Homo-oligomer: A and B are copies of this chain.
Amino acid sequence: MARAWSLKTRPQGMPKHTDFAMIDLETASLGAGEVRIANRWLSVDPYMRGRMNDVKSYVPPFALGEAMQGGAVGEVVESNDDGIKVGDMVLHMAGWRDEAVVPAAQVQKLPALDVPPQAFLGQLGMPGMTGYFGLLAVAEAKAGDTVFVSAAAGAVGSTVVQVAKAKGMTVIGSAGGAEKCAWVKSLGADAVIDYKGDVPVVKALGEAAPKGIDVYFDNVGGEHLDAALAHANLHARFAICGMIDVYNSGAATQLKYLARLIGNRIQIRGFIVSDFMSRADEFYKDMGGMLSAGTLKRQETVHEGLETMPDAFLGLFSGGNTGKMLVKV
């Protein structure tokens, strides 16, 4: 019998294990055009926290008591579609479960690139595209720029660090703790700030970027965003990808340096990766090439077994991952 995680109660603030419940899924026979997938890899991502609230957003909220959704990679074990064969490895959104039945139109065969399948949930998937297009298209970063990126040890941030270095930029990353900072440095970052250290981020960034920053890639908001405003150069561009600081707390962001927007003509843009889906080929070509060539390093934090999925998800908010957080089924 297939099983899935469901949301039992809507979290107030930080989610708890008791907000989740495992449910059994009926083993339905396949309808026309459907495929059955044995999931191998499941993704947990910070944006999923937003779907746990019952509010209008860019993705609809999870329904209570039903199987949750999310990125997944699996092997087709049964198919009622001519284009998808048993044995194909596919990417789809029916995650948080061990087996999925979905219309073939909603699955994507993994591109033929020389990388392991779970890379399509990380650097070659949604987090990778987020970092790639956020840096190059939203923030319009170019060779010679000094780039600051928060949560630089995360799935998105570590992609930003490496793409920025590969494209000739100077990179300052922020991460929490000596181990993560060392890993970010090993990815090629020119300087790393430990935001859990004694020095306030605004001071540490001033020391790491004495000539200021041209680009800020924001995954966290709050103190990091304010520090970026404090040190932004003329015509700096900020890509706002996430504000993990406020996803759970709902607290107001305090910005002391916001008025620097004016004199320095700073541009701030929020974005969602799905806006760039039409440019996926360009992304696969450039990133796939860099991954195959070893220019980019891959790092995963893997939890084993469907049972561990809430642990993996909650770990995103307590700094529990280096690189992409995954569950191996």
Contact = CB atoms under 8 A, between A and B. Distances in A.
A270 B262 CA distance: 4
A72 B197 CA distance: 52
Nearest to A222: B258
A271 B58 CA distance: 29
Contacts of A270: 260-267
Given A252-B254, A258-B253, A263 B221 contact: no
Contacts of A58: 262-264
A196 interface: no
A253 B253 CA distance: 8
Contacts of A57: 263
Contacts of A50: 263
Nearest to A243: B259
Contacts of A271: 262, 265
Contact of A268 (B221, B268, B272): B268
A241 B240 CA distance: 21
A153 to B, nearest CB: 21
A167 interface: no
Give chain A's interface residue range (CB within 8 Å of chain B). Answer: 20 to 34
Nearest to A238: B268
A268 B261 contact: yes
A240 B57 CA distance: 25
A204 interface: no
A258 B275 contact: no
Nearest to A260: B270
Contacts of A131: none
Task: Report which residue of A50, A258, A263 has the largest number of chain B beta carbons within 10 angstroms of its beta carbon.
Answer: A258
Contacts of A258: 221, 243, 246, 253
Task: Report which residue of A246, A255, A270 has the largest number of chain B beta carbons within 10 angstroms of its beta carbon.
Answer: A270
A211 interface: no
Nearest to A263: B58
B261 A240 contact: yes
A267 B275 CA distance: 15
A52 to B, nearest CB: 15
B265 A272 contact: yes
Contacts of A255: 252-253, 255
Contacts of A272: 262-263, 265
A271 B234 CA distance: 10
Interface string A251-292: 011111011111111111111100100000000000000000
A196 to B, nearest CB: 22
Interface string A81-125: 000000000000000000000000000000000000000000000
A242 B260 CA distance: 10
Task: Report which residue of A243, A264, A268 has the largest number of chain B beta carbons within 10 angstroms of its beta carbon.
Answer: A268
Interface string A27-39: 0000000000000
Contacts of A241: 262
Interface of A: 50, 57-58, 221, 240-243, 246-247, 252-256, 258-272, 275
